[in-house]
Amino acid sequence: MRSHFRGLLSPLTLAVLCISFFPARAATGESAAKPAVDATPSSSPVDAGLTLSEALRLALTHNPDLAIARLELQAMAGAETQAGARPNPELGVLVEDTRNATRTTTVQWAQPLELGGKRSARLAAAARAREQAGVALEAKQAELRAAVTSAFFELLGAQEQVRLSLGSLELARTAFGIATKRLQAGKVPPLEQAKALVAEAAARADLAQSQSDQLLARQRLRALWGPGAVEFGQAAGNADLLPDLPGAQRLGEMIVEAPAIRLARLDIARRQALSEGERAKRVPDLTLTVGAKRDAELGRTQAVIGLSMPLPLLDSNQGNLLEALRREDQAREALTAVTLRLQAEVTQALEKLRLTREQAQMLRREALPTAQTAYDAAVKGFELGKFAFIDVLDAQRTLFQLRQQILRNTADAYRAATELDRLLGSSAASNGQPLE
């Protein structure tokens, strides 16, 4: 890592050269002349714009995928209601003989009676399915929050990149003007002006790319709100803030209650209820029949009472029960697989979060101040004719590449943090970003 920093900061030896030209000012504390344009604009929070809390509210309210999950939960609630319904009775009429004098008419009311716990098993399976839909909705909400948070901070980084590119362009334009004046005064060869012109063209290209990235980042954020998304100008936040590392104890507690784990547990419970239902089907249901029989020839009405039950001689539901039991075993194995996969993914996301945080902090703490000093010294030396424009470009390139690397590391840290949030179903890492 440190060898990488040395590679980035090799042009910083300019600082030593430049400071040597200003010994009197350094000794007396006289403020150095500022460059015409600040090439490292501040990344302080935007005064007005879309906040993270507003972006989350819009997404949770209007996202169509979340609406699908909510409707699925409502559908499962209806299925649970239906699972508790009892069998309907049957009304039957039987007429024997077509002659009025000898006709016999029988009216019957038959009520099937479920035995063996079929209804309770059916209700348990439907209840577990509804709970699964509820956990799936929570998982979808966590996934959406993670996506919105990631897109929001991606937009913040893109905005910061545009500010950096604007500063680079202004510097290039200023440098071109200075090079032109010095060329007219005969102090520099035409090559200096050509280099400044090329640098300005490159800065314009970088600005166009940054503006395009910002537009795409804004569109990706708006897409999470679904149709009719509101328009906004800027994302209001601080692109320099880093998400925090979650504590080990809290992380362990959250893994146990992660949506994927809860879904797998509920699937085992649902499979167990289905197995009980298939086992209960091996017990024949009883049908109670009551009615009346009118014999026209005898002129009397007789009561009819009957019981019927299928005989499980040819079909004892053995195959369906075996299938349900194997599905239950399959659900248990799935829980083990999900647990191992979740632990691996959480470990990877946590390690990425830790590494990117350390990289961003190290660059800001050790490399950025030195790069800024070298850049300021190079600009002052160029304005006073002490350095060629290529020296300014070298120092500027180092400083801007360093800031871009910090932005990338910060963006990677938020991606890792939001991946943890998605996996665990809630915020595992505090991003330090005010939601209001």
Residue 239's pLDDT is: 74
Q: In what order do the strands lie in the sheet with 286-295?
A: 90-96, 104-113, 286-295, 300-308
Q: Provide the mean pLDDT of the chain.
A: 82
- What pLDDT score does 45 carry? 36
Q: What is the pTM of this model?
A: 0.74
Of the ranges 142-146, 177-181, 352-356, 415-419, which one carries the lowest mean pLDDT score?
177-181
Exposure of 274 by Cβ count < 10 A (0-12 exposed, 13-18 middle, 19+ buried)?
buried
Secondary structure element (H or E) that encloses residue 318, with its range? helix 318-362
pLDDT at residue 329 greater than cutoff 90: yes
Instruction: Indicate the CATH number for domain 2-424.
Output: 1.20.1600.10
Return the structure tokens found at 312.
């499980």
Encode pLDDT of 358-405 as tens digits. Answer: 999 999 888 989 988 988 888 788 777 777 777 777 888 888 888 888
Task: Check residue 254 and give its pLDDT.
Answer: 87
Task: Examine the pLDDT at 99 and tell me if it is beyond 60.
Answer: yes
- Kindly report, residue by residue over 238-276, the tens digit of the pLDDT: 777 888 888 888 888 888 889 999 999 999 999 999 999
Percent of the chain with pLDDT over 70: 86
Query: Can you give the pLDDT at residue 188?
Result: 67
**DSSP conformational letter for 300:** E
Is residue 36 predicted with pLDDT exceeding 80?
no
- Cβ–Cβ contacts within 10 Å for residue 362, how many? 16
Q: How confident is the model at residue 68 (pLDDT cuts 50, 70, 90)?
A: very high
| Structure confidence at residue 48 (pLDDT) | 55
pLDDT one-digit tens code per residue, 287-322: 999 999 988 888 889 999 999 999 988 888 999 999
pLDDT at 350 (0 to 100): 92
Grade residue 198 by pLDDT with cuts at 50, 70 and 90.
confident
**What burial letters (b/e) apply to 236-262, b meaning 16+ CB within 10 Å?**
bbbbbbbbebbeeeebeebbeebbbbb
More confident residue, 36 or 416: 416
